[in-house]
Structure 1
Amino acid sequence: MSAPETTPPAPQSAPSTVPAGFSPRLYNEDLAPRTGEASWRTWDLFCWWMSAWHSLAGYTFAIGLLVLGLTGWQIVVAVFLGILVLLWGFNLMGTAGQRAGVPFPVFARLSFGVLGAKVPALLRAVVAVAWYGIQTYLASLAVMTLALKVWPGSETLTQTQVLGMSPLGWICFLVLWAAQLAVLYRGMEAVRKLSDVAGPVLWIAIAALAVWVLARVDWSIDWNHREGPALGTGATVSAVVSGAFLTVAFLAGPMLNFADFSRNSPDAKSIRRGNSLGLLLNGTAFVLVSVVIAIASAQLHGQAVTDPVELVRDIDSVALLLIATVAIAGSAVGINIILNFVSPAYDFANIAPSRISFRTGGVITAVLSLVIMPWHLYSSPVMVNYFIGGVGALIGPLFGIMIADYYLLRRGHVEVDDLYSDAPTGRYSYHRGTNPGAIAALVASGALTLLVAFLPGLAALAPYSWVVGVVAGGALYLLAEKVHPSGSLTAGPVHAAELPAQR
């Protein structure tokens, strides 16, 4: 007889007590330093990566590189190179978060100040909320496909529009919207358990889709397939490098707030192994499968199908259609919670910790994702490119500032207690709670990155906006600290690795 299942405690709405020396403006139990046993081990991070990669967005992004003029095998090379850069960045941010044992908005206080950290947190939250809504909407389209196939009578619910979406569309969207909120409302342990199940299951479903498409083309594909004219050697190399850095930009947001998850890992070794298996091995395998599906679909339809939902519509069997739809919708739920829901939940909690918990931050995220009506947002390339893309372009400078601060300036040293103190004498209070040098570096490097990303005359450099932002942000921050030292290094720091296990 098995032992009864226990339900992990959900995050509290507000802390009953605040530790001595900590400010209620900066602390609640969800933002607190890690205590107790670490739960996110190598297997959990491996599954996290499966949930993060196996999605409509991941497939569409990889196949979207065809527009650069790359062949199938060249896309795999480009994404693999990007994955190597991502592995470096995720290991750096993941290790820093694990040693400090705090979530991203608290870790950002190290560079930006205990109050100034609200700036990077809110920038990350804006991007995540927008993409959370868009991903939910895209998944609801797959659910609509299933509904129309199983219940033909539901066609009548698509003939009118309410705020830009049909009644059937609203039903499908709200079902997925509520399901995701229910998971996050149970806390980070529920997120971990969902990731552990969803990742492997979705891999099986995606592999099955690849087998189904391959069978329809007699198990033969052309790896030299391209959607445009052939490129010269120089142009090919440029396109491959551009594809690599576009891959980095695709996951730059989650890389920035990876501490939200890695802080719950037992050691840096678990993080590196989880990232190697989940990002390097699994990520490359997923790209291979995506390219196989795309090339096979091109042989069937004359051009690569960039939306897996279109392939699902070709399935005649209701049972297979149900499995495919569950896989697609499940992948959207998994990636949304992992990449676009957890981060803003913490970020909003950081605004007013005494009143907003992780759970409440999740509700705010869900409500905002509904209010912005993501179906309108997704249908407007201008809005996606200039608003979401513009804010997203600032992710590179933020990453550069935080990594330069932690590894180059502080050499991995941090006083965790001072991250929760708003006393004027606190190590990270700086000037009225904000580090002017970090803000100045963000503004200057952010302006440069936006010019690179959107100025027509610099279009050739646009794929490199992330790396430009990282280098500029880090360099300008170090320069600001050299010219006008913030003073946070003057009082005998304690090494972060000594703190989490002993709190």
Structure 2
Amino acid sequence: MSHMPARSARLYNKELAPESATSTWKTHNLFNWWMAGWHSMAGYTMAIGLFAFGLTGWQAIIAFIAGAIILYGLNNLTGVAGQREKVPFPVFARASFGVFGANIPAILRAIVAVFWYGIQTWLASAAVMILILKIAPGTSALAGNSFLGLSSLGWICFLLLSALQLAVLLSGLETVRRLTDFAGPTIWIAVLALAVWMLARAGWTIDLSAVTTPEIPSGARQVLGVASAAFIVAAYMSGPSLNFADFTRNAPNEQSVRRGNALGLLINASLFGIVSVVIALSAHKVYGDETKDLVELVGAIDSVTILLVTIIAVSIATAGVNIICNFVAPVYDLINIRPEWFTFRRAGTLVAVLAVVVTPWNLFSSPVIVNQLIGSIGAFMGPLFGIVTVDYYLLRRKRFDTESLFTDDPDGIYFYRRGYNPRAIGALAVGGLISLLLTFVPAWSDAVPFAWPAGIVVGGLVYALLNSRTPSPVLPAGAASGADATVPTAQTDPPAEAPAGIR
């Protein structure tokens, strides 16, 4: 006789459980999710940064589309896995890292997300402050002082936007879904309005073949530049791609995930890249500087009406991308660390507080901090992606014993050694080291854009090699997983014992 594994209070929370998943995130919702994910000030800043590789407008567009294609393939892997197993990323990672070892990727992802959540909130609040100063010039007195590097008006805008975002999250994922359904399309209004306004100022003509850098790179450098830019575009979404299961667990079927990805990445992301290039080249013609960010460009708009519409749209869109890319992930990660204490509301409140404590405007003003602190931790996103996808698709062949993800029984399939899988941790260390070397060794500066894909390949390959002689524990032959899984009960005969693997 067998019985369902007992769920441990150290691992179980109703918000982490597969039965808490809904079927409400359909194709158009995931399409809007991607729209909200791309359309932000940070997304535009990343897009115009591609010109630093010496690309022409056409080459930047090609690179952006190539990056979107890469993301489409990778997010079909994580998205479909989440839809099948119905659990968020930190629970999904328990199969490869161990039921307690999954806290390692959860903490790494949470740190990156909290930093970027604060930065994105501050960028949106800066746009709101511009609108307030335009409409109510008398508030300029509040913008002249400074406390911890931010003016009184800046603090008001930042805290107000933080509170609004927190209110959305605390209302639950269904409210988040409705926000993305609204925010995704809304930002197109702002982006297209800005593109038309900039094109008009540029005389309705731009040169897509022009190179904005002082020197025209050689043919080989241009090829390297396009490849580098494509992986920069893909790496921009490395964090959200890793925890995409947080959302697709609520999708009704695999087809809705794939179709949502196709619309949101292959079509929408490509169009966003094209419009961003048009705005950047228009700014280059008007100001002689294609690197001006959206806040600067919006601040130069003379029409208060256009400014009002643009800033409201940008603010809503930034709040949308912030919540889905940088808020939900650390909330689930914190719940995973202490499920017996953290609820969705408690974890969300802590994330909001931490985002204020790190004073993101000071972080953003220091490229050294952004690159070395956030970049160092972010270097582990690639290896994490490689490990969890190799584990699920190659080693387990898309078969989970979902109930065992919630048990701390030492004989559990995913307990490994005291709840940690040394193989996954070792692969993460090797893959992370390679990514860090490619990111920070000056002699390898040309390899920086390839740090993320290299991390995926090395992390996944090392993990596969470590499991090649003695496989990780898998379900017994013939067992199902995800929505098709049949959990053994006390009235059924026990299944054959799974391989023990490493304990």
Pair in the same fold by TM > 0.5: yes
Matched, 1:432 2:418: yes
**Identity between Structure 1 and Structure 2 (%):** 50
The structure 2 residue matched to 1:214, chosen from 165, 188, 199, is 199
Correspondence list, 1:363-402, <5 A = 363-402=349-388
- Residue 474 (structure 1) aligns with: 460
User: Is this contact kept in 2: 1:31–1:102, CA < 8 A?
Assistant: yes
Q: Secondary structure at the match of 2:25?
A: coil
The structure 2 residue matched to 1:249, chosen from 216, 221, 235, is 235
Deviation at 1:277, TM superposition (A): 0.4
Q: Which amino acid aligns with 1:272?
A: R
Matched, 1:88 2:87: no
Deviation at 1:35, TM superposition (A): 4.9
**For 1:36 and 1:466, how far apart are their aligned partners in 2?**
30
Matched, 1:118 2:107: no
Correspondence list, 1:298-313, <5 A = 298-313=284-299
Between 217-226 and 330-339, report the one with greater CA deviation.
Answer: 217-226
Q: Is the alpha carbon distance of 1:263 and 1:69 closer, same or farther for their aligned partners in structure 2, counting shifts above 3 Å?
A: same
The structure 1 residue matched to 2:268, chosen from 263, 274, 282, is 282
- Residue 57 (structure 2) aligns with: 72
- Residue 463 (structure 1) aligns with: 449
Q: Secondary structure at the match of 1:482?
A: coil
Matched, 1:444 2:405: no
- Residue 216 (structure 2) aligns with: 230
Matched, 1:156 2:141: yes
Q: Which amino acid aligns with 2:109?
A: R
Deviation at 1:494, TM superposition (A): 2.8
Superposed CA deviations along residues 441-474 of structure 1, whole A, max 9, x for unmatched, are: 1111111111111111211211101111111101
- Residue 495 (structure 1) aligns with: 480
Matched, 1:139 2:132: no
TM-score by length of 2: 0.94
User: Is this contact kept in 2: 1:132–1:336, CA < 8 A?
Assistant: yes
- Residue 63 (structure 1) aligns with: 48
**For 2:320 and 2:485, how far apart are their aligned partners in 1?**
28
How many residues align? The count is 484
Deviation at 1:206, TM superposition (A): 1.1
Matched, 1:46 2:31: yes
The structure 2 residue matched to 1:340, chosen from 322, 326, 340, is 326
**For 1:315 and 1:62, how far apart are their aligned partners in 2?**
21
**For 1:128 and 1:315, how far apart are their aligned partners in 2?**
32
Q: Which amino acid aligns with 2:108?
A: L
TM-score by length of 1: 0.94
Q: Which amino acid aligns with 2:341?
A: R
**For 2:289 and 2:150, how far apart are their aligned partners in 1?**
29
Q: Which amino acid aligns with 2:188?
A: W
User: Is this contact kept in 1: 2:95–2:405, CA < 8 A?
Assistant: yes
Q: Which amino acid aligns with 2:57?
A: G
User: Is this contact kept in 2: 1:34–1:500, CA < 8 A?
Assistant: no
**For 1:335 and 1:438, how far apart are their aligned partners in 2?**
30
Q: Is the alpha carbon distance of 1:368 and 1:500 closer, same or farther for their aligned partners in structure 2, counting shifts above 3 Å?
A: farther
Superposed CA deviations along residues 9-44 of structure 1, whole A, max 9, x for unmatched, are: xxxxxxxxxx97111111111101045750100000
Q: Secondary structure at the match of 2:23?
A: coil
Q: Secondary structure at the match of 2:468?
A: helix
- Residue 494 (structure 2) aligns with: none
**For 2:189 and 2:118, how far apart are their aligned partners in 1?**
26
- Residue 128 (structure 1) aligns with: 113
User: Is this contact kept in 2: 1:56–1:331, CA < 8 A?
Assistant: no
Deviation at 1:226, TM superposition (A): 2.3
Q: Is the alpha carbon distance of 1:76 and 1:502 closer, same or farther for their aligned partners in structure 2, counting shifts above 3 Å?
A: farther
Matched, 1:197 2:197: no
User: Is this contact kept in 2: 1:305–1:311, CA < 8 A?
Assistant: no
User: Which consecutive unaligned segments of at least 5 residues does structure 1 have?
Assistant: 1-18
Superposed CA deviations along residues 108-133 of structure 1, whole A, max 9, x for unmatched, are: 00100110000001100000000000
Correspondence list, 1:20-31, <5 A = 21-31=6-16
- Residue 5 (structure 1) aligns with: none
Aligned residues: CA RMSD: 1.6
User: Which consecutive unaligned segments of at least 5 residues does structure 2 have?
Assistant: 489-503
Q: Which amino acid aligns with 1:466?
A: W
User: Is this contact kept in 2: 1:98–1:268, CA < 8 A?
Assistant: yes
The structure 1 residue matched to 2:86, chosen from 85, 98, 101, is 101
Deviation at 1:189, TM superposition (A): 0.5
Q: Which amino acid aligns with 1:470?
A: I
Between 122-131 and 296-305, report the one with greater CA deviation.
Answer: 296-305
Q: Which amino acid aligns with 1:46?
A: F
**For 1:225 and 1:195, how far apart are their aligned partners in 2?**
36
User: Is this contact kept in 1: 2:400–2:481, CA < 8 A?
Assistant: yes
**For 1:199 and 1:270, how far apart are their aligned partners in 2?**
18
- Residue 3 (structure 1) aligns with: none
Deviation at 1:150, TM superposition (A): 0.9
